[in-house]
Structure 1
Amino acid sequence: MNKQALIIDCDPGVDDAVALMLAFGAGAFDLLAITAVGGNVPVQKTARNARMLRQIAGREDVPVFMGADRPLRREPAGAGEFHGAEGLGDLTPFEPETPCAEGHAVDALIDLVMARPERSVAMAVLGPMTNLALALRREPGLAERLGPVAVMGGARSEGGNITASAEFNIWADPDAAAEVLASGCDVVLFGLDATHQVRATEDRIAAVEAIGTAMADTAASMMRFSQRIEREIVGWDAPPVHDPCPVAWLLQPALFELAPCRIRVETQSDLTRGHTAVEFRDAVAGGLPHRWATAADSDGVFALIAAAVGPGRTI
């Protein structure tokens, strides 16, 4: 079986953790690297969290690189209220046995992609797009070399989750998002319109808990934490599980409906900072270079998660 070469850029984060467990357990991926970025919590914690999750999954073969510690032009902003002060909910932090790989995440992105055949390396970007924007500044040819860039970010019909119109990952570094979307990369955006359809119901969490592996216990713990926090802050019983969506699409594209579009990001107004303007009309947009997820098969996504964290790792 030809495996999909994949780099995951992330800021773990409880839903990042579920996405990483999905990716670590999926035999269909050749995981080249995890690149950490500051976002939900500072980059020193996101890099440590990625290494913790790697150790739990028994995937020390995958290097973790530390990346940007702040947005391109903004002050760093976190989301600890939704992820816990350390980023991984109720999981007690520990110092992983294997350190970060030497070098900066931006250099690793460039080296890994440019050394491989054109369009052969996919990316899943699960946090602010700072690392990728910096890599594109340094090596513009990266846009033509990368395969699909599956991004968790943005909002249209659902409205925002950090402001009235902005989703957190885009809001945290709107300038980076704007640069990536204008770069020519093949961007597929999984915004709240789709990820709010993928919810960790009580039955779905219990099903993952019943699997009994360390990976399953970790994924279930993340969803239990989100369930409690979403009830307290938002009033939802079933929290959305955002970040597994891009990874699930790379594994099984039929789980999502996509629409061609052009996406622009608001970078000027403080009121609408990070708003994603998604235009589906070709005549208005002047071309539709991006894709926007409009619908998700939530049962299918959770079936993939269960298969990946199970003892057989059947995907």
Structure 2
Amino acid sequence: MRDLICITDPGQEQAVALLAILASPEDFRIKAIVASAGNTTLDHTVENVFKVLELAGEPGRGIPVHRGVPKPLLRPLVTAAHVHGETGLDGYDFPPVTGTAEDESGVAAIIRLCREAAAREPHSLTIAQFSSMTTLAVALTEAPDIAEGIAEIVMMAGAYFEVGNITPAAEFNIYVDPHAASIVLESGIPIVMLPLDITHQLRNTRARLDAFSALGTEPGRAVDAMLTFSETFDLEKYGWDGAPLHGPVVPLYLLRPELFHGRQINARIETASELTMGMLVADWWQITDLPKNIFYARDVDADPFYAELLSRIARL
């Protein structure tokens, strides 16, 4: 059983990731969900978290939802409405939400929960990082001691072999706030990076999407509808048989790490050049003697990945 803080900006594929986590109560104890600005604005992502919770039948379970930092540390907010729609979660007709965010901010919640974890059992809390890293970076800057409560940060972020998806050089989650990403990567906390190099191996073919609808459940139909909406941009962009799947790599790594293959490397973030802003400078070939600060996943076993994801969504 993992104690988990989810930092997310849903986003259709992140909604699927949250559903997989919510479907696995024997594996995850969700201490908090922190909504981030990124795929869309903070007001929308807060509402989107509740859409997912309520779709999964979770509004009464008491999972606290907190508002993260609404904009990057130093740069204007960049969103991805061109992929996810204006709400960030277009494609499925969600009913109006009933939940409301906690008064405690996301930064304060992360600091409190990490300190509580450190006092109870050091290095026992997992951060599931799906989005830009602003809120986590602010928490680490305000309270560096919270690292004592964190076992690892598992993030969907970055790219080396596949390079960029929002600019020619940068992956979106890092590009939104490269300065925050740099703070997190330099924190000394164990980090697992699940980059575009693996998400581009996970393609939402029509057969894979139809399998979710074939479950005959509302969450299954919602997964199909959401991913069908968000794939339009990527299908035109890449010309593949299915759009890449990003967010669910985080819970699937936590559930089935043997499906992922990579190695420890040093990685840094470009924060000075506008041409390559947000680029992940990954020392895959160990050219430098810099300390290895992340586990970088290079490959994933796609068929068992989708089978596991489908089995989790089938539980809802």
TM-score category by the smaller chain?
Answer: over 0.9
1:224 is displaced (CA, Å) by 1.0
More displaced stretch, 43-52 vs 117-126:
117-126
2:11 maps to 1:10? no
Partner Cα distance (1:280, 1:250) in 2: 23
Q: Secondary structure at the match of 1:143?
A: helix
1:285 is displaced (CA, Å) by 3.5
1:169 is displaced (CA, Å) by 0.5
Q: Which amino acid aligns with 2:167?
A: T
Q: Secondary structure at the match of 1:122?
A: strand
Partner Cα distance (1:237, 1:226) in 2: 14
Unaligned runs of 5+ in 1: none
CA contact (8 A) 1:86 1:93 kept: no
Q: What TM-score, normalized to structure 2?
A: 0.94
Distance verdict in 2 for CA 1:281–1:157, change over 3 Å: closer
Q: Name the counterpart of 1:58.
A: 57
Q: Name the counterpart of 2:149.
A: 145
CA contact (8 A) 1:148 1:187 kept: yes
Q: Name the counterpart of 1:46.
A: 45
Partner Cα distance (1:46, 1:227) in 2: 19
Partner Cα distance (2:149, 2:221) in 1: 37
Q: Secondary structure at the match of 1:9?
A: strand
CA contact (8 A) 1:170 1:274 kept: yes
Distance verdict in 2 for CA 1:209–1:93, change over 3 Å: closer
Distance verdict in 2 for CA 1:200–1:283, change over 3 Å: closer
Alignment: residue pair count: 310
CA contact (8 A) 1:156 1:165 kept: no
Partner Cα distance (1:306, 1:226) in 2: 18
Q: Name the counterpart of 2:101.
A: 100
Distance verdict in 2 for CA 1:170–1:211, change over 3 Å: same
1:251 is displaced (CA, Å) by 1.1
Q: Name the counterpart of 2:125.
A: 121
Q: Which amino acid aligns with 1:24?
A: L
Partner Cα distance (1:290, 1:227) in 2: 29
**4+ residue runs of structure 1 moved beyond 6 angstroms?**
none
1:93 is displaced (CA, Å) by 5.2
2:80 maps to 1:79? yes
Partner Cα distance (1:34, 1:133) in 2: 16
Q: Name the counterpart of 1:222.
A: 226
Q: Secondary structure at the match of 2:4?
A: strand
Q: Secondary structure at the match of 2:91?
A: coil
